[in-house]
Amino acid sequence: LAKTTQPISMDSYEGQEVNITCSHNNIATNDYITWYQQFPSQGPRFIIQGYKTKVTNEVASLFIPADRKSSTLSLPRVSLSDTAVYYCLVGENSGYSTLTFGKGTMLLVSP
Amino acid sequence: KAGVTQTPRYLIKTRGQQVTLSCSPISGHRSVSWYQQTPGQGLQFLFEYFSETQRNKGNFPGRFSGRQFSNSRSEMNVSTLELGDSALYLCASSLLAGGAYEQYFGPGTRLTVT
């Protein structure tokens, strides 16, 4: 399983764009990159997934460079409710792969 | 569509007892995974079931076991509880087995062992 490295914490203010970068140097050819968000005492929630280049949905954008050794989750115009832990995971869509959650990035959004 | 439900939401047990937690996946989802979350260790994978078969197992002692029924509902059991088993136990379901498929998590069961 490819290991991921991401910052332990980040601070931001309401209305700003937040970019969280995740490093996954030994990502395999069949691996996808997935981001989850977790609020205290709740289960994680899927945010976005990508394989290469750029993916955008109504919540976030995911930028993946050509070498795929890193990825950046971009949250546009954050609000206080975006304060949460964000996990970057790498894994393949095979029946025997599992999700390995690291420590995640604690994002604190202030007014 | 109803989300993943877990029962009970809170549980207090004493050391040495056993406990059974239940998870009902989203309708149509055949894969159910279980995770343990503690402040010190973070989110750790316990096991995954797909079509009543255990597909994957994390690095936990044999006191932790699970099963899945034909309707995809799943239970996990912890025997001979230890203080260190106090944690939030999360269940997640997905349409197919495999780590990269979108997983939908339940609210969790908060287990306290005294």
pLDDT digits (tens, 9 = 90+) for A19-72: 999 999 988 888 899 999 999 888 999 999 999 989 999 999 999 999 999 999
The 10s digit of each residue's pLDDT in A84-97 is 999 998 887 666 66
Would the CB atoms of B99 and A99 count as touching at under 8 Å?
Answer: yes
What letters, b where the CB count within 10 A reaches 16 and e where it falls short, cover B83-95?
A: eebbbbbbbbbbe
What letters, b where the CB count within 10 A reaches 16 and e where it falls short, cover A5-24?
A: ebeeebebeeeeebebbbeb
The 10s digit of each residue's pLDDT in B13-65 is 999 999 999 999 999 999 999 999 998 888 899 999 999 999 889 999 999 99
Instruction: Give the mean pLDDT of chain A.
Output: 91
Contacts with A, B 6-35, CB within 8 Å: 33, 35
Q: How far apart are CA B74 and CA B51, in angstroms?
A: 10
Instruction: Say which of A93, A99, A103 has its CB closest to residue B45.
Output: A99
Placement of tokens 């136990």 in the chain: B89
Instruction: Give mean pLDDT, residues B91-98.
Output: 84
For residue B70, is pLDDT > 70?
Answer: yes
Would the CB atoms of B45 and A34 count as touching at under 8 Å?
Answer: no
Contacts with A, B 65-94, CB within 8 Å: 88, 90-92
Q: How far apart are CA A105 and CA A102, in angstroms?
A: 9
Predicted pLDDT of residue A1: 54
Predicted pLDDT of residue B105: 94
Which one is predicted more confidently, B103 or A100?
A: B103
Nearest chain B residue to A32 by CA distance is: B100
Interface mutation target, options A71, A98, A103, chain B, most CBs of B under 10 Å: A98
Nearest chain A residue to B104 by CA distance is: A45
Which residues, including other chains, have CB under 8 Å from residue B99's CB and lie 6 or more apart?
Answer: A89, A91, A92, A93, A97, A98, A99, A100
The 10s digit of each residue's pLDDT in B14-27 is 999 999 999 999 99
Predicted pLDDT of residue A74: 98
For residue A2, is pLDDT > 90?
Answer: no
Helix (H, G, I), strand (E, B) or coil at A94: coil
